[in-house]
Structure 1
Amino acid sequence: MTIGIVIVAAGRGERAGSSQDGPKQYRRIGGKPVIAHTLERFLTWPRSGPIVVVIHPDDETLFAEATGRLPGADRLVTAFGGETRQRSVHEGLRTLSASEATHVMIHDAARPFVDHGILDRVAQALDEGQEGVLPAIPVTDTLKRGGSDGLVYETVPRSGLYAAQTPQSFLLSAIRVAHEKAAALRREDFTDDASIAEWAGLPVTLVEGSVDNVKLTVKRDIDMADEKLSSRALPDVRTGNGYDVHQLEPGDGVTLCGVFIPHDFKLSGHSDADVAMHALTDALLATCGAGDIGDHFPPSDMQWRGAASRIFLDHAARIVRERGGAIMNADISLIAEAPKIAPHRQKMRETLAEVLGIAVDRCSVKATTNEKMGFVGRREGIAAIATATVVYRGDAA
């Protein structure tokens, strides 16, 4: 069984504020668009199959901006929605049917607080052979039926009543047939996909939803969601360390932090052997668990023979940015008896700042000797220790 996902995001959200604010699924809560929060829940769920996002034709740029930095965004397929939610879902189902998906979860983009627990419960019901699954929560408020005159006509018993949520999930072929039947009969009065399934005779099983899985409908909902996320969000500050060492051999100079320094020796290595940039590359990769320099630029690959190490550092910085990180500080300690580093320190800092795309005052280069002890003291090699500080946004890698 492969569970495909259809995210409905083509609405205009008129009740969520003025048109100048844009569709509600692209409003920012907790520092990023509503739809980004929603998609992250599915992109990080282990059982997610193909993901189709149904958007409005006018929102292509908004969607690209909202999802461009999401890890796994390359998995997203878009389809254009119709004038109603029902038509949009139909388009999403048609697009998903071209994939390997056998089942589908249909979810509203404006429900950003769906969690993996709900998805697991829905999937378990599908595993057990249910054709339709509806997450829902029991109605707890007392319900009244009123008339046009503003008077209460009766109290409605709440026993057995539930508030429907999404994702509503089905056997893909069955719900698509139901939607096509409704479209052929021009029935567009259904309020959700479960009601279409009921009308078509498909059994729908209730599973436990969540009180947190709310739909953002009006501006107040969005403001409250933003307040909720902003108040609980802690800065995601990560520190990575890196260490590298290269042997010295007779030559005409060494390259450290991208700066060539004339010397009676050179550093031996597959690339230009810039120990400082190598150590800093590892430090940056460590902040997002992206392995080390050897994983990305193996010494066995001849294309990197003699390569400038700024290529490696630029690659690591790009990975950090793609995963939502902002490089805050880079600190390098060089351990060498010679050559003298002080005359070149400013140029080194400027080079690091240029490669990393940060201010010079966020780049530090220091040097010390090894007091003539060990291989460094014997002038057999140069070592470097690097520390990188990166702040990641929200639920980044």
Structure 2
Amino acid sequence: MSVAALIVAAGRGSRAGEGIPKQYRLLGEMPVLARTLSTFLAHPGINHTVVVIHPDDRALYEGAIAVLPVPSATLLPCVHGGATRQDSVRSGLEALTGLNPELVLVHDAARPFPGPDLIDRAIGASGRWGAAVPGTVVTDTIKVIGERSEVISTPDRSTLRAVQTPQAFRFPLLLDAHRRAAAAGLHAFTDDGALAEWAGLPVHVFEGAAGNIKLTHPADFQEADRRSKGNTMAYLTRLGTGFDVHAFGAGDHVWLGGIKVPHDRGVLAHSDGDVILHALTDAILGALADGDIGTHFPPSDPQWRGASSDRFLAHAVERVAKRGGIVDHLDATLLCEKPRLGPHREAMRQRIAGITGLRLDQVSLKATTTEKLGFTGRSEGIAAQAAATIRLPEVNA
């Protein structure tokens, strides 16, 4: 399958403060654009990469690609963008027509930490659905407000996702949608997923990555700079553990590791009762010395009734990021007689990696019975224990 990456780097980035456009500013010793490009150029599933730049930025672009570790034959000549992001993306798509790739991934240059696993998921999702965008769980309460800042409504967070890039499409579908929008005189779409929706395409959401941050404001650069210098900063390693248990009750499934697993029982719980995600959440919070899951999501609060536990785990990872830290490894063990973990292990690992922004090899899942002993042995309930290893900057310890 032929896959092209289209990197949008034609913006001015005025909200990032004064100076050169943000995609050319340095993170450590490498421009933002070079960091972004290096991930796509190194990915074995990407056959061609084209960058769309502002006509005035040729010298900045040449300087950025000059620092790439290894020149890549998959990097095509850059293309000049237009007056809007939508125009710039269409210019890049038109430049790819001669190659006619099957899939195209559109990514913002100002997201320098996409990660190879996220690119894998983008390729897989677009190949399956035709139009797909990465999204992360929304953990904050969102309010819709009116002209006088009054609250109009409060959307259900379980139905919300914060959308990122790379957004992935079958190439002919996205090219046709862009051409139709331009012919209709529409040029203000800031998101290719929204343009695809306008064109009548069903757009699916796949798992994004918490670490795939977009550099928009000066504070974003401070956080990204800390990440880019991760190999030279002094870190303290911390280990946290977590444990969770729920009794079985009436039902036909249980949630484990973010996956709905068919079972002849359900669990008694205030939220969805996912013991694996609950234990992992507590392990991360424990490593932070930041309370436990009940501290952040008290069961007395009705808003958490039936809540999806991926929100809890994503929140714990965000707490690490806000401290300038890094999650290194997650390990969980399921304790029960049934259901069996084996048939679902890899799907759970992928789901947890997606929620946390980790690589698959940083997520371990195991299972054990208790030899018919205790409440798990009598099939009265289910339990999980977990460990999390994180690193925090020494100055924040």
Q: How big is each residue's C-alpha offset from its partner over 1:46-83, in whole Å with a ceiling of 9 and x where there is no partner? A: 11111110000111110111111311345322000001
User: Among 61, 70, 79, which residue is 2:59 paired with?
Assistant: 61
Q: CA deviation at 1:100?
A: 4.5
Alignment of 1:23-62 (within 5 A): 23-62=21-60
- 233 and 102 in structure 1: CA distance in 2 versus 1, 3 angstrom threshold: farther
Residue ranges of structure 1 left out of the alignment (5+ in a row): 236-397
Question: In terms of mean alpha carbon deviation, does 200-209 or 166-175 score higher?
Answer: 200-209
SS at 1:135's partner residue?
A: strand
Q: How big is each residue's C-alpha offset from its partner over 1:13-72, in whole Å with a ceiling of 9 and x where there is no partner? A: 011111xx2000001012210001100010110111111100001111101111113113
CA distance in 1: counterparts of 2:42 and 2:131, whole angstroms:
23
Q: Say whether residues 1:146 and 2:148 are aligned partners.
A: no
CA distance in 1: counterparts of 2:155 and 2:9, whole angstroms:
33
| Correspondence for 1:5 | 5
SS at 1:72's partner residue?
A: coil
Q: How big is each residue's C-alpha offset from its partner over 1:318-366, in whole Å with a ceiling of 9 and x where there is no partner? A: xxxxxxxxxxxxxxxxxxxxxxxxxxxxxxxxxxxxxxxxxxxxxxxxx
CA contact (8 A) 2:10 2:88 kept: yes
Q: How big is each residue's C-alpha offset from its partner over 1:215-236, in whole Å with a ceiling of 9 and x where there is no partner? A: 111111112211222244479x
Alignment of 1:368-379 (within 5 A): none
CA distance in 1: counterparts of 2:14 and 2:130, whole angstroms:
34
Q: CA deviation at 1:114?
A: 0.2
Alignment of 1:1-397 (within 5 A): 1-18=1-18, 21-70=19-68, 71-76=70-75, 77-127=77-127, 129-233=128-232
Q: How many residues align?
A: 232
| Correspondence for 2:296 | none
| Correspondence for 2:282 | none
SS at 2:98's partner residue?
A: coil
Give the number of the structure whose alpha-carbon radius of gyration is greater: 1
Q: CA deviation at 1:11?
A: 0.2
CA contact (8 A) 1:133 1:207 kept: yes
- 233 and 184 in structure 1: CA distance in 2 versus 1, 3 angstrom threshold: farther
CA distance in 2: counterparts of 1:55 and 1:230, whole angstroms:
27
TM-score relative to the length of structure 1: 0.56
| Correspondence for 2:383 | none
Residue ranges of structure 2 left out of the alignment (5+ in a row): 235-397
CA contact (8 A) 1:67 1:73 kept: no
CA distance in 2: counterparts of 1:72 and 1:121, whole angstroms:
26
CA distance in 2: counterparts of 1:75 and 1:233, whole angstroms:
31
Structure 2 letter corresponding to 1:178:
A
Identical residues among aligned pairs (%): 44
Q: CA deviation at 1:152?
A: 2.8
Q: How big is each residue's C-alpha offset from its partner over 1:192-250, in whole Å with a ceiling of 9 and x where there is no partner? A: 00111111111222111001111111111112211222244479xxxxxxxxxxxxxxx
CA contact (8 A) 2:125 2:168 kept: no
- 147 and 121 in structure 1: CA distance in 2 versus 1, 3 angstrom threshold: same
SS at 2:47's partner residue?
A: strand
TM-score relative to the length of structure 2: 0.56
Q: How big is each residue's C-alpha offset from its partner over 1:87-127, in whole Å with a ceiling of 9 and x where there is no partner? A: 00000000011114221000000000100011111112234
- Note the aligned Cα RMSD (angstroms): 1.7
Q: How big is each residue's C-alpha offset from its partner over 1:148-201, in whole Å with a ceiling of 9 and x where there is no partner? A: 323333322222111111111111111001000000111123230011111111
CA distance in 2: counterparts of 1:169 and 1:10, whole angstroms:
19
CA contact (8 A) 2:2 2:103 kept: yes
CA distance in 1: counterparts of 2:129 and 2:31, whole angstroms:
34
CA distance in 1: counterparts of 2:126 and 2:146, whole angstroms:
41
Give the ranges of 4+ consecutive aligned residues of structure 1 lying more than 6 Å apart after TM superposition: none
CA contact (8 A) 2:6 2:51 kept: yes
Structure 1 letter corresponding to 2:214:
K
CA distance in 1: counterparts of 2:219 and 2:233, whole angstroms:
23
CA contact (8 A) 1:136 1:208 kept: yes
- 101 and 233 in structure 1: CA distance in 2 versus 1, 3 angstrom threshold: farther
SS at 1:159's partner residue?
A: helix
CA contact (8 A) 1:197 1:204 kept: yes
| Correspondence for 1:390 | none
Structure 2 letter corresponding to 1:66:
A
Question: In terms of mean alpha carbon deviation, does 143-152 or 100-109 score higher?
Answer: 143-152
- 234 and 47 in structure 1: CA distance in 2 versus 1, 3 angstrom threshold: farther
CA distance in 2: counterparts of 1:187 and 1:100, whole angstroms:
24
SS at 1:170's partner residue?
A: strand
CA distance in 2: counterparts of 1:106 and 1:230, whole angstroms:
27
CA distance in 1: counterparts of 2:125 and 2:223, whole angstroms:
32
CA distance in 2: counterparts of 1:177 and 1:163, whole angstroms:
26
CA distance in 1: counterparts of 2:45 and 2:74, whole angstroms:
13
CA contact (8 A) 2:52 2:91 kept: yes
CA distance in 2: counterparts of 1:233 and 1:182, whole angstroms:
47
Structure 2 letter corresponding to 1:208:
E
